[in-house]
Amino acid sequence: MSRDALEQNQIPIYFVAVIAAAIGGLIAPAATQSLNALVTPTIAVLMYAMFLQIPFLDFRESLSNKRFMSALLIANFVLIPLLVWALTRGLAEHPAVLIGALLVLLTPCIDYVVVFTHIGRGDSRAILAATPILLLLQLVLLPVYLAFMLGEQSQVVISIAPFAEAFLALIVVPLLLAVATAALAKRSRIVGRWNTVWAWMPVPAMAAVLIAVVGSQISPVVRDIDQLLPVIPVIPVYIGFMLLAPVVGALASKAYKLPASTARAVTFSTATRNSLVVLPLALALPEEIRGLAAAAVITQTLVELVGELVYIRAVPILIWRKKSR
């Protein structure tokens, strides 16, 4: 199987991973509990693998298409937060679920959105070039959004120390290692080959994370299913986001008169969220809300994967075929 084939078949791979992990966790709960110790390492590996694919050293390319970048940033960091704020008002009575939903819905995807954009006939190179800015802006703005949307609950819900530790260990360190690797790859053939091998890793690493998380958690979830009932109200929120977010991207693209391919890229970006980047942050929350927040993040991932199957067929049809001038 080629790398392109692997990436284009990642949704079935993820579903198989989730189903296999769930079955294994239910049949042999004692054995799969050991997977819990692998959650953090597998997420760290995934972060490194994903960050290696981001052209952090090519910021000039990211900024070259000003209309595209303007539409992309306005849609993701102004319009989408307004949409998320409106959609999540009904979750105020469930702070753990609310923070999980906010973590995932406020952060645009930086990894498999490139593949979905390509399959959906969008400009995948443009969205790939924009990923460094998308990542850096969401890391800066996420605490601001959370403080505003959680209000007084933000001080109670977020414990700074474990949150900061997870952010440092699972995002900052892999990010710095990836940037250093990319810089060295231009000078060393060995590091260049290392990069080539790791280019295959995001999909297997993501499947490994899903296996570790689902396999270790499915048995406690089934056992304590009554305690996870508060997650149910977030599902309509995710469905509403799945339906409305592409409209936000299309409208922003229309306002900036983008051609079809880049308009589709903006649309995919607004509709696709950064679930596996924020999952470690959810898992670093205080113990009393960690489970529900992580469940809310994972639930969004499952809803989104179904949505992407619709997007890759609907977006090329609904986003104008003729090139805007």
Looking from the CA of 7 toward its CB, the CA atoms found within 13 Å total: 18
pLDDT at 288: 79
258 Ramachandran zone, left/alpha/beta (phi>0; psi -120 to 50):
beta
pLDDT at 202: 83
pLDDT < 70 positions in the chain: 1, 56-63, 152-167, 221, 224-225, 227, 276, 321-325
Give pLDDT tens digits for 138-165.
888 988 898 889 876 655 555 555 556 6
Q: What's the rounded Cα separation, in Å, for the pair 299 and 230?
A: 12
CATH number of 37-190+232-318: 1.20.1530.20
Give pLDDT tens digits for 65-115.
889 999 999 999 999 999 999 999 999 888 889 999 999 999 998 777 877
In the chain, where are the structural domains located?
A: 37-190+232-318
Q: What's the rounded Cα separation, in Å, for the pair 239 and 243?
A: 6
pLDDT at 162: 57
pLDDT at 130: 85
Torsion angle (degrees, nearest 10) of CA 198, 203, 290, 218: -130
CB contact set of 192 (below 8 Å; sequence gap of 6+) = 185, 186
Provide Rg for the chain, Cα atoms: 19
Contact 146, 102 (CB under 8 A): yes
Q: What are residue 273's phi and psi, to 5 degrees? A: -110, 165
